[in-house]
Structure formats: structure tokens, C-alpha cells
Structure 1
């Protein structure tokens, strides 16, 4: 904010209160917000800000606002751009372009210059040079600040009237040029008699608690000031019928700051105003009429020279567990990026560190101590990352001591629940931290004792979080491959980060059923198969697999293998014709696997300029040997997409998925390019768990974020991993079933992805393995999706927000594609039916809520029992527009079911039901159902399950949206 000091409000009262405003009609209806947030710092947490109906941000920190502000619930969320009308900061890029004669003084508290609103040229400059570029970028909401700054120089009634008249004309012209613009004013009470019909909402600062920017101090607002401001805000609400927001300030460094913010928000809400209570610089996630339930984790680490986040231990070992707990995470390389300075409370569910032994970041200890005071939990893995001294030990409730290196060391205490998970803890005297617990409220998870009777605590749950030091988080022994978890990572993270038992977004499941998909990397399209007549591999795959099982499958090609300019020009006519025929199949989704198939993206892009990633050139020796080709990022991504879309696809199909090639470790610039070109991206991750490599360290995360850009990982690995890099045994891909089962039960970590290359169709043994996998999948109660649908769910997972209202209701905004919330064991029961929930399904752990809208509201069930209601038990697709009506002992359910090919659904909670789809009656079904699974029996009990199959014709093998009606007797 850049208004006058909050303490001067009473003095301004006489200047602004001259006469009561005339009664006006309500402005044209625009959806009134019920919650508002302000965040002016860099890297705004856009995902969490989506919890609020309106979020005001600095536009310079947000690119593509129309894309970033995706509406998760029928347009409920919008980003507003901060725009200062009355002042200008010298750091603004347009400052030096200001017409002469505009500046009339200073606001010393904020280091800004005050603008004469009536100066010639200001109105056009403001609209042409400040507003017009923002409008062109996609901004449609504008928060107009510093509307009363003219009072710093306008000392007479005539001067003030001249300033307000000029502002009124500026805002009228604003709306004339941009009728769709929403104007959100900070104060401007004296303007409202003229511009109320043009106004979307009005904010005012410091109703109860204020911030003095000059002194950088916080404090309560004097009663006289509050009484005056309260009167102004009530007038805005009652006379002009506009939403009113109060922005109050609480010192985030003070103990109890979060609770004080909540109390202040409640006081503001009691007047019928929308609160926002945060720090004075508005660089934290504060409290409104709702409060964000943080689901972001800050992961601190260091990378060695040439290392990539993709292969770091923090990413490899922790990523999937954070995901499964419903958390997204962002990395910060401490040595390169330093430590954050903004408040973390409200924005982060916790901080996780993973440092190598011997690392000493001198500022890290005090920084962690500040997070502890702020109330942000911290989980430390592997090493503290700073030198343990008496001072730093005291911060963490530890005693740091000196002792000779022990001759003997043994484990004397190990928590049976959290330690010894995949392998027993084994002491290593070379990795020994000389600390023990001093806080009586901490609980040791692993205690060692030496031959001198010294105790060492190497893992613990503490009041501030917890730690697990090497080698007691993961360990690697010469006879073991891969590394193994000593610690139970899920349980440790949940306890150390003090995560609440609430439903979490989930991308493994759709309609209560585990997701299954399939995709092919384009390698080997020109390969000939070892079958009579030497057909191309694509012909074998179509005959043996695709046409037989008719699963949705996403198939990519490498342009450089097909085009006349590629590596096989003599085969180009044949392979191009086969690719065109392949893409006419209704169950095949097209994708690109690049132009030249880079084997190492980092090497191919090595030494290239970061200034213009669209024109990045590099080393073609790390790609297919395409004549006269030099690596070019634009050519690899958009160029290959254009080739597929313009040359290979029939009308009605469009390629929008880019599948990473080679090592699938693209730099951030390459990931960014897929987004800038408007494409989805996937591949990488290296999930390789099997019965002979049975460790959770071999389960990859859902993806990785690099410099803000998210790479989506393939849920499972391809046949190369199971066939010795295609050296044999070629039937080895059938072991992928082990991976699917181990990532599905007892914990459902992953969707199923049947992932292979064209050359898998060249050998009878590998084709036999594909048959075995497809028959296994055919017998499972899966929801079948295309890769594009899965990718969009993962992106929605990253963007989902969770908030809690004053009455405890949980509000989830999940976007247009994610339609599952997993209720973990131990979570409370919720009132069902609930807004946005169509059903509830059992799972191997907990329950899955089948959601049908981008916003879901859940409230804990009270003591009074609710009558059973018919709901969906499962659905083989995406459920939408769910409605339930009950009349006596009759109930009717209506919903849409978006499915790929044949589908099925089940209803529970009723004695008898009949169903129709698209107006045609449905017979009772007999396909695979979750009701037959062992983990479903206790959940379902003796309840009748009514299952229905929706058949399909060959013409409807692609995605179809069905209109379903179910009538039941209770």
C-alpha cells in the first residue's frame, strides 16, 4: 500500500466528510467477492491465491495472467493488477518517461513521488503507458492505490476539489476505454458519489491494526480513527452497495502473530466487511474470511557441479511421499539462491532440508530458528547443513557435545513404528553427529551409545519438527541395490510437519477407480518386426495390441525418423503413410517425441544462450544424426508439433503433448518452452520398483519443478528398464506388472501407465509381454485415460488450493480436471452428500471422494446421524454436473460421465435402482468392479451395489460425454 499513514485518518476526516453522498442505485451486477488476498512480493504463490475470489498482485511478477488465473470454480477466482494512480516509485520502468510537471512532492515513508492528478498529460500517460500494456497482457482487474496521496500537497478545498475531479475523469475514461475492466479502489471515498457505478469494490487500511511504514512498526488503531473509518466503510457498503475490504497488519515476527491475525479477521468480518490481515509489506499469505491450509513445502538443498534437481536425493527419495501426502514442493539451492527473507507462515506447510554431510551454511541455523519462532515446521534429512554448536543446538533443543571418536557404537533405542522400515539401522562411526536431545518434549527415534556411555540421538520428532541423520534416513550397502529406507518416510513427514488429517488431492484415481493409461515413445517407428513378411513394428502393434484391446493410447513419433529430411529418407513415403493411417484410429491420441531425439538435453543445449530460449542452438552430436542439423529448441518442440499437426493428422485431431526423449532430464529452459508454446509435457522419473528391487526409493515423484516450470513424470518406466536396455530378455517387460502392483497396494502411489516404444513390436517375446500386461489390465477395475488427461490432473494437483472458513468448512479448488480427493485413515467423517461430491469409494488405504466440480466444500459430520443417501461408488470416467434429489423413499441422481470407450458406474446406498445413459436404458453390469477387491469388502459391507455398463461402438472409442440418469428406491 502507498496510502497516507494510518494514524492520520482522523485528521483527514474533516477534509473528506464535507457532505453526505447522495443515494445512488447499485452498480451493474458483478459477482461480489467473499474473500480477498493481497500479495506484492516476487514469486507470488498463485496456487494458494486461487483459494481467494480476488487476489491482488504486482503485475511485474506474474506473466500470462489470463492463464495463471485459471478459474477453478466457474470463474470464482481472478487476479487483479496493483496499479498506483496517485504515486510513482522511481524504480518503475515508466518513471523516466513521465511528462514534465507531474510530480508534486514525496511520500517519504514509502520512498515514492506524489503525482498531480490535474497536470496536463497525466491522464493519457496513465491510460496509455501504464494501463494499456497491462490490458494487452491479459489483466482485467485493477486495484487502484494511493487515491488520497494528493492530500500531501493539496492544502485548500479548491486544490483538493481539483485533484478529485481529475481522478474522476481519469477513472471514467478508464471505463470508457475498457468497459470490462473491474476497478477496485483503495479508499477514494470522496470519489464515490461520482464513480460508484464504475466501481467493483473498495478497500481501506487499518480498521483495527495498522502499520507505520516510516517507523516499520505495528500497533492497534486508536478508537477515534477506527470510528471514523468504520463510518466511511459502512457508507460504502450500505449506500453504494459495494463490497468493502479492510486490510489490517500484524507483525509476523511476534509470537502468536497468526492467532492475532485470525482474531483481527473475525472482528473485521463481524462488521460485514471482507478482511485481509497480513504483514506490512504484504509479502505473506495472510488471513481473509478464509484461511489457506498450506500445502506447499520448501525444500532446501545444494547441488554439486553438473547435478540436476531431477537426480538429487531430495527429489528421488522424498518427492513421491510429499505428493502422496497431498503436498507440492519447490526447491531452493541455498548456495546459489540464498535463503528466503519473506515470512513463510501461512504459505508453507513446512520446510524440508536434505544436505550432504560436511556442508556448513552459517546463516542456516539462525534462519531455521526464525522459522521455528514463526511456527513453520522443519524436517531435516541426512545432515543439519550447518555447524552444530551450543548456540545452534540450543535453538533446536539439542545438546552439542565433544567426545573422542568412539571405538564402539551400538543402537540402544529404535522406534518400532518409524525405524527399520526397509532395512535395519546400522551404525556408521564415520557419519556421527555429536548431539543428543535436551528438550523433554522431543521423542528420540534412534539413539546410539558408545563405549564411554555417551548417548547420540540420530533421529527424533521434536516440538519444531524432526530430523533423521545419515545413514538412518536412507542407506546403501554394497550387497543392496537400490538404496533402502531405514526411516518410514510417510509417517515421519506427517508427524514432523504436523500435517492435518484432511482429504488431499489425488492423481492416481478417477471415479474411485485407479487410473490406467498407455503411451508410446516414437523411437523405432521404421523398425521391421521379426514376423513373416517383415512388417513394420507399427503394423504388428496395431494388429496384435491396439485393435485387440482398444485401450486409450497416446502415440508419439520422432519427426527425424519419418520425414524426408530425417535419417531414413528412403523409407519416408512408407512410414509417413503408416503414421497417417495409425492416427486415424479413434483410440489413439497423437504426441511428439521431438525432431532429432536428443539423448541428453543438457549436453545438446550446452553452452547456448539463456537470453532467448526460443532460438537456442546447441550440439547435434547428442541427437540422431540428421544431415546438416544443428540442435535448435524451437525446432525440436514446436517444429515437430507443427510437422505432426500439418502432415500426419486427420481432421479433428491435434497433437498437444511433448514426450521428453533420451535421459528425459530437460533443463528448465526446455520445460519452459513447452508451456510457452502451449503444449503439455511428460516423461522421465524412473519408477523402477519390482519384487527384486523392492524399495520406495525406486518410486519417482509425480514430476519436478525447475525454476517455476513443471515437468510431469511418466507414472511408470518403459520396457527398456525390464529388458536390459533392449538386450534381453525381451519378455522382461511383463515384470512391469510387479511395478504396477507394488505402486498400487497397500498404498496407491501411482496410476498405471503401459509405456513402451515401437520397437517393442519387433520381437515375438516382447509382443507376448505386451499381451500379458494388457490382459492383466483388462481384468482390473481401472478408469482408462489418455495421457493428456493425466497430465492435466497433475498440473491441477500443483495448482489446487485448500482453505478453511470461519466455521471450519474446508474449501477445495481443484481446477477443471482433478476430480478426486483421498481421505486418509484417521481423518474425520464429513457430511455427505456435500457440495461438489458425487460419491465415495473404498481404496487400499482410506477412502476416495468422487468429486464433480472444481470447488468442493467439506464439513465435519456432527453428532447427529444422517440418513443414508444414494451416491456413486465408482465411475469409469470423469463425473460432472452431479445432482441428487430425494423425495420420500425415492431418489434421483443425474450426472455427466466423460469416458474413453466403454465405461461403467456403480451406485450404493439404495435398495433398487434403474439407470439410463443418453436416453437409453442400461442393463445391470458385470464388468470388473472395485466392489470385488479385498480392501472394499469392509467398506461396502452388506450394502447393495448397483452396477451399470455403458457400451460403445467403434465410432465412440474416443472420449464421449454421456448424460446419465439413475432412479432409486431407498
Structure 2
């Protein structure tokens, strides 16, 4: 009996040295993981000082990646033996930074295994180290790879002499070769990719300012400069052997860039300082509802109060609960939780006792700050209390300290309390992490066991102040071994806090979010549009205007708006997706959850064979990539590709209509018996703009029916000369509708 085909390996095991502070500031997570996520890879972490995992426990392992700068191992020979065993199984190794992480090559105990490991990469060590870089030139400096965001120059980093084992092997490609003192015998190949992985020497992969990392820990300065010297998408794509392979995509749905928005409840009860509101004592949450939510029924938003700010026994004011009821009643508003007491520094509570928190309570009470929000007071006297390890951003462990901390209350308790103010069909399904957004493992587990999805953290910026893709965050953070893994899902963009110096000035700053949104769309789509902010943005004229600027930006772009929980389930699906090759240019997609887009890069001359595929709604070519829209109603769709030599015309062999793009998410596509029509389920926000590929100049009748079968919209449309049939249904899709498209071919 023939064994079923195995899924394409998508796991990259990242080995890190634990000398630093936390994984989210490690080069691997903060800088390298996002490009690998974008290429479809799932990155899992392992402490290199702990016992190395048994290869048999690593199913789906595609590669091991390391990025050490000065770190050394206690037993390099054991590490090299383990690595050699994985290489023998076909697992790739990608080495960034120190190549000699395994120890000194002069140590007789490791000379042979080190040589064997390097040979597996197609490299050999040249027994030299170049420390005087003033005499270095670059006889090979491939512009396709190098000088991506910053050009090599100035004082160059010292480096080892490394060469290909077989200089004539075309499969091992050298992208950067350094020559010392004009002597070819001292050439070193500093950026190399091949069929077994890749290598990029320290100082030639990414630029960080001098204070940007601890050489022993690979930690980044969170505020330090960083920029890629090599193209990370090209480098990892080549080193991981990903050319032509499918990528699960979290940016796009039904052919359009996704949009989602969520609000952390901070400042719910803040006094509004705006004309027309201040005079009557209105609070910020009312301003946000009246000015930024009610006028935008086409843009869904997830609202997450802090339960303590709605609870009269904690910090509620008379309007607090009324505003919650009014907000949650709006059809475009989704209900969520921002915890009960708003922890600022989550690690503080990993080993919580009331006694540990008592000095903060006493000091805050003595200074008159106990009952103030105080998120960024930076009171040095309070910061210096005891041995508490608090982030220097916060002067207290959590916003509200009236009662001892209770993790169950923060998760399920907060959700249940907030549910009191929401319609029965809108229960809380999501917790939005507070404070430093770094929940400890037990907090992630508590959220999951309370039935809650989760989001926050990441804080992507890509603008004039953070001018590098190295500031674009990964999809999330995986915590724990695979069999006990918890996931923290990151936002797709930063909130107004990072633009306003933690809400201490420049209250107009959030308007610059659109620069990040632009850079994350062109020249390649990196992230969906995410407008993420706090309720206190409704307290000031400048901050409200900045928020409205971003909302009008989103409204002006062709997006597919979704709720925040929908986005989170899509990212969850990214981690679970199985891509099973069925033959040349054919894949089955399973286990994907809510993820409904598969992307192929460098695919201008490739197209979906719609006749040979199953469970595919449609396709769209954009920026050289092919975005394939899957049908959520089909559990295991199959994608078949074909050559498409004429991208200026519709792909050949596609007599059946297929989707190009839609503002509304679609599902359950059924074709008419004659192939000239179709029916599809649709539900979404705003107008139902859609475009289908049909025969050129075909005429169409479009009917939308509600759940009872009554027609709620009818229109006629005509395709253009290329076969693009575009129309917009009125905003009737908030409740699901059935859309029927009937074609009449031109005579």
C-alpha cells in the first residue's frame, strides 16, 4: 500500500543562547523571523544550552537556523554530532553571524566534525581570520542580494576566511566575496546559499549600531538602529529552498488586502477635551463612538474595555457602562476584553504573591497615585522599590491594585463581566494583552482555557523613524514545546503609544501610521492594514484628528474588512496549515483553519488551472505574486498551477468564471450546470464590491438574497474587453446573503 504523501516541511528550528534578556529582543525573533514567516515558514525556538531535541521528535523540520555573536557552547563536539545527524537527514542549516560558534577550529576534538559540518554546507574553513578590514575589497558583491537597506561601508567587521568546497559547483552561490590586501588567496565568501542551507558572516547580514546588541547574547537594543545589509527575503528563500513553493498568507483575503481595527480600553473614562464634549463632561469612549465608529459602519472595530473601568467597585464612572452597552450594540463593533486590572509588566505576576506587590501599593498610596491610572508616571522612588523587575516604562505592576492579582479574574472573569453589557450574540472571544504585552506561559494557557483568542505585541513600525523591514514584527510568538505550545498572536501595526512618547506628547503623531501601511504594501505586501489604538485617542482634538486620518486612509483603499478575531484565527491557521505536494505543480491544503489565501511569489507567468483545481474561489496577480483564494467550505482544496505565458490576458483553459477580488469574504461556491453562472455565500461590511473573470464583454445579472430567500439587491453589469466583470452590491452583507451571478455571453 502506497504511503500518503508527506506535507512540505515548514518548520525552522531557531537555536538561541539564553544569555540575553528575552526572546523578543533576540536577533532571531525581532529581525529574522518575519522574513521567514512571509515565506511561509513557522519558526520554533530552542535554548541551545538545554539538551538538543531528538530528531525523531521534529516532524516537518525544514531547517535549523542560528544567529550567534560571540556565544560559545560547553560541548561543541556534541552539538556538531547532532547537527551532522540532521544534515544526513536532509535538514538544512542556515548560519548567520559567527560561523565558529561551535568552538575553536584549532581544537583537535572538533576539527574533523567542524569540517564535516561546513562541508555539508558546501564550505570549508580557510584557517585564517581577517581582523584588519581597511584593505578589503569586494570582487563579488551581487546587487540582487547585497546593499538591501544599507550599503556596506565604513569600518568593516572582521571575518573568517571561508570558501566553497567546490568553486565550480553552480548550486553553491556566493553573493558577497571579500578580498584582503588584493590577494585572491585570502578571498572569503561571506554570504553564501546552496542546496544545504546558507551562511552570512557577522557584520555582513544586518547593521546594528554599537549599542544595539550584547555580543554574548545576540540581544538587540529595542530602540537601536537596525537595517538589513542583505535582502532577507532572497537570502532565506534561497537558503531554505523555497523558490516556486506555496506560502500561507495572512495579509490577503478574497484577493484584497485585509483590514482590521481594535481598541484597547485604556482611557475609557478619560475626560474629553474637545469642544461640544468637554462642556457636558463627556468621556473619551463616547467621543470615539460618535466620531470614529458610528460614521464608519463599513469598517469593523473590536472594542476591549478594561473590566475595572466598567466595574463600580473599581473605577467606573456614571457613563462607563452606558457607553459599553451603546458601543457593543453597533453592528460593526465586536466585543473583547483588555483584562480586568490591566497588568503592565506580565512577568511580575508569573510568581505573584500579595507581599511582592505590597511595597508598590504602599508607595503609590503615600504619593497619592494609587487611584490614578499612572501607566507611565516613571516615579523613580517607586521604580526603585525592592528587587522587583519592572520595565522602566511603568511605575506599577498593574493599573489597578485594589485587590490581589488573580489570573482567572484577568481572563475568564473579565470576559464574563464585559459580557453583561453586550448582546447575547456578541460574547467576548478575544483578550487584548495589556502593558508590555509579554504574557508568561501560564497567562497564555489561562486565556486559551477560558475560551479566548489573544492578540497584541509586535508593534510593527516601518517609517522614517524606523526605516527598515527589520522593524516589521513576526506573525506571533510561540511559547513552549510543540506538544504544549501556546501562541501569542501579534498585531499587524503599532498603536498610537509609540507615536506619542507613551501618550506624553505629539498627540498628532498617530497620523504617521499611514507611512508604515504604505511601506508594508509596496513594493510587496507585508502586512494587512491594522488601525490599533486606545480609547484615550478620543480625549484630545489632535489625537482624534490623527485617528480619523487613518480611518479615511483605510476607507480610500480596496480592502477586505474583517473583525479582529477573524484575523487572529487566520494567523492561527498559518501555524497549522499543511501543504501536501500531489505532483508537479499541484498541492493539497489541509488543516488551515480560517486561513484562505495561498501565495506564490515570482509567479507572473504562472496561473491556477481552474478546471484541474478543487475548492478554489479564484486568483489574482499582484506585484509579481499570485494570490489564490480558497473556499472556506472546502476542507482540503487542491491547487493546480499551469504556465501562463501571456499575463496581459486571462489564463487559457478557464471557461468557468472565477473570483479576482471581493470586499466581502465569500464561501460555498456552486457553479450552474451550464458553467455560465454561479452562486456564492457572502458576508461583510460596507458595499459588496466584487470582480470576476468571465468571457470578454459578457453581460451578467446579479441577485443577492437573504437567509429567507428574499431578493435584497439586484443589478446588471457588463464585463470589459479583458473579461473583468466588476460591480458593487449595496451594503446588505452584514448578515449573510447568497449572491447569484448569471452570465449571458455576447452574441
TM-score, scaled relative to structure 2:
0.82
The answer for the alignment partner of 2:617 in structure 1 is 838
Instruction: Structure 1: give runs of 5+ residues left out of the alignment.
Output: 1-267, 270-287, 610-617, 927-939
Among 283, 298, 311, which residue is 1:563 paired with? 311
1:796 to 1:608, Cα distance in 2 relative to 1, 3 A: farther
The answer for the alignment partner of 1:420 in structure 2 is 147
The answer for the alignment partner of 1:947 in structure 2 is 726
Question: 1:177-188 residue pairs with structure 2 within 5 A?
Answer: none
The separation in 1 between residues aligned to 2:528 and 2:740, in whole angstroms, is 29
Bigger mean CA deviation after superposition, 668-677 or 760-769: 668-677
The answer for the alignment partner of 2:360 in structure 1 is none
The answer for the alignment partner of 2:384 in structure 1 is none
Instruction: Structure 2: give runs of 5+ residues left out of the alignment.
Output: 106-110, 213-223, 355-387, 645-650, 706-710
1:690 paired with 2:690, answer no
1:407 to 1:713, Cα distance in 2 relative to 1, 3 A: closer
The separation in 2 between residues aligned to 1:788 and 1:351, in whole angstroms, is 32
Structure in which a larger fraction of residues adopt helix? 1
1:458 paired with 2:206, answer no
1:536 paired with 2:317, answer no
Among 240, 246, 254, which residue is 1:511 paired with? 254
Deviation readout 1:271-310 (Å, 9 max, x if unpaired): xxxxxxxxxxxxxxxxx222211112111112225x2222
**Cα contact 1:552–1:588 (8 A) shared by 2:** yes
The answer for the alignment partner of 2:178 in structure 1 is 448
1:746 to 1:808, Cα distance in 2 relative to 1, 3 A: closer
The answer for the alignment partner of 1:353 in structure 2 is 66
**Cα contact 2:606–2:643 (8 A) shared by 1:** no
Q: Find the residue that maps to 1:349 and give its secondary structure.
A: strand
CA apart distance, 1:343 = 4.0
CA apart distance, 1:704 = 1.0
The answer for the alignment partner of 2:325 in structure 1 is 580
CA apart distance, 1:600 = 1.0
Deviation readout 1:342-377 (Å, 9 max, x if unpaired): 248862122211223232350333322222221111
The answer for the alignment partner of 1:393 in structure 2 is 115
Deviation readout 1:305-332 (Å, 9 max, x if unpaired): 5x22222211111222111111212111
1:686 to 1:404, Cα distance in 2 relative to 1, 3 A: closer
CA apart distance, 1:398 = 1.0
1:323 paired with 2:8, answer no
**Cα contact 1:584–1:650 (8 A) shared by 2:** yes
The answer for the alignment partner of 1:487 in structure 2 is 230
Among 670, 682, 690, which residue is 1:883 paired with? 670
1:872 paired with 2:659, answer yes
Bigger mean CA deviation after superposition, 484-493 or 465-474: 465-474
1:345 to 1:786, Cα distance in 2 relative to 1, 3 A: closer
Bigger mean CA deviation after superposition, 767-776 or 471-480: 471-480
The separation in 2 between residues aligned to 1:924 and 1:348, in whole angstroms, is 51
1:562 to 1:835, Cα distance in 2 relative to 1, 3 A: same
The separation in 1 between residues aligned to 2:58 and 2:535, in whole angstroms, is 50
The answer for the alignment partner of 2:134 in structure 1 is 408
**Cα contact 2:338–2:433 (8 A) shared by 1:** yes
The answer for the alignment partner of 1:468 in structure 2 is 200
The separation in 1 between residues aligned to 2:57 and 2:201, in whole angstroms, is 25
The answer for the alignment partner of 2:743 in structure 1 is 968
CA apart distance, 1:640 = 0.8
Among 678, 682, 688, which residue is 1:903 paired with? 688
The separation in 1 between residues aligned to 2:56 and 2:474, in whole angstroms, is 27
CA apart distance, 1:865 = 5.2
Among 857, 861, 869, which residue is 2:638 paired with? 857
Deviation readout 1:692-744 (Å, 9 max, x if unpaired): 42200110011110111110001101011122222222111111011111111
The answer for the alignment partner of 2:361 in structure 1 is none
1:806 to 1:925, Cα distance in 2 relative to 1, 3 A: closer
The separation in 2 between residues aligned to 1:732 and 1:672, in whole angstroms, is 35
**Cα contact 1:289–1:805 (8 A) shared by 2:** no
**Cα contact 2:609–2:654 (8 A) shared by 1:** no
1:784 to 1:452, Cα distance in 2 relative to 1, 3 A: closer
The separation in 2 between residues aligned to 1:345 and 1:643, in whole angstroms, is 42
Number of residue pairs the alignment of both structures matches? 652
The separation in 2 between residues aligned to 1:332 and 1:403, in whole angstroms, is 30
Bigger mean CA deviation after superposition, 738-747 or 943-952: 943-952
Q: Find the residue that maps to 1:491 and give its secondary structure.
A: helix
1:346 to 1:709, Cα distance in 2 relative to 1, 3 A: closer
CA apart distance, 1:891 = 0.3
The separation in 1 between residues aligned to 2:686 and 2:740, in whole angstroms, is 19
Among 300, 306, 314, which residue is 2:15 paired with? 300
Question: 1:148-547 residue pairs with structure 2 within 5 A?
Answer: 268-269=1-2, 288-305=3-20, 307-336=21-50, 338-343=51-56, 347-360=60-73, 362=76, 363-384=78-99, 385-387=101-103, 389=105, 390-391=111-112, 392-396=114-118, 397-402=123-128, 405-406=131-132, 408-412=134-138, 413-426=140-153, 431-440=158-167, 441=169, 442-451=172-181, 453=183, 454-477=186-209, 482-532=225-275, 533=279, 534-547=281-294
Bigger mean CA deviation after superposition, 404-413 or 867-876: 404-413
The separation in 1 between residues aligned to 2:654 and 2:133, in whole angstroms, is 67
Q: Find the residue that maps to 1:759 and give its secondary structure.
A: helix
The separation in 2 between residues aligned to 1:754 and 1:552, in whole angstroms, is 11
TM-score, scaled relative to structure 1:
0.64
